[in-house]
Amino acid sequence: MAGIPLFSLAGRVALVTGASRGLGFAMAEGLAEAGATVVLNSRHADTLEAAAGKLRARGLKVETAAFDVTDASVSRTVETIVGQTGRLDIVIANAGVNHRAALAEWTAEDWDRMLATNVTACFFLAQSAAPVMRRQGYGRIIFTTSITARRGRATIHGYVAAKSALAGITRSLAAELGTYGITCNAIAPGYFETELNVPLLENPDFVAFVNGRVALRRWGKPHELAGLAVLLASEAGSYITGQDIAVDGGLTTTL
């Protein structure tokens, strides 16, 4: 739109789940640096406040909302956030969990937990945010998926299934919500140096294996995901919707 800086998020309000550390924190930091008021979420109030403090110390506009994304009351939480901030323009549904076990060792509880956090919670968060965005005639819904939705890996069956489903939901929501000025996209990270990947990072053979497959020959740093989040949340990404975009150093595009 003429007169609006392409990558500015000034005046926008964003909710980022799973934002106390790792990729969620990096994306939240990027949105805040672009001018947005960012509401950080995690289940734990203490770690959430510590994360918020790091951003506030830099003069960035940050609020917090401690809640479990799998809680049935998430719609009321969204209403509370809107009541406090006056609007909700951007939702990044990033909170996720992983579980690694051989096929024979998976239980129904393990499977259900993967789907509840990685798919169901994201869907109903989007459902709760969409009415607000429709009234505004503007909205950005962004999911964190994974390259494992494209390239399977042993032992993380529930995670792969969940992220594959979330990539599909990205497309269906984009198709339904576009007429209201709402875009829906997903970011599919490759291998990043985060707390979630500590078990992998502690295995030098696996680190070397990934480095050998990635075109850039290294693991990603969390801040390297922030730029795409800002793009998809801003006017610069206003004609991008229904996409699941890999940020993986070239892992899925090389042999």
Q: Residue 138 catalytic?
A: no
Catalytic position from the list 159, 180, 191, 239: 159
Those residues whose C-beta lies under 8 Å from the C-beta of residue 5, and which sit 6 or more positions away, are: 235
Residue 164 dihedral angles phi and psi, to the nearest 5°: -65, -45
Strand-pair partners of 40:
16, 64
Calculated CA dihedral for residues 123, 129, 131, 133, nearest 10 degrees: -120
Strand-pair partners of 186:
143, 244
Residues annotated as catalytic (active site), given as ranges = 159
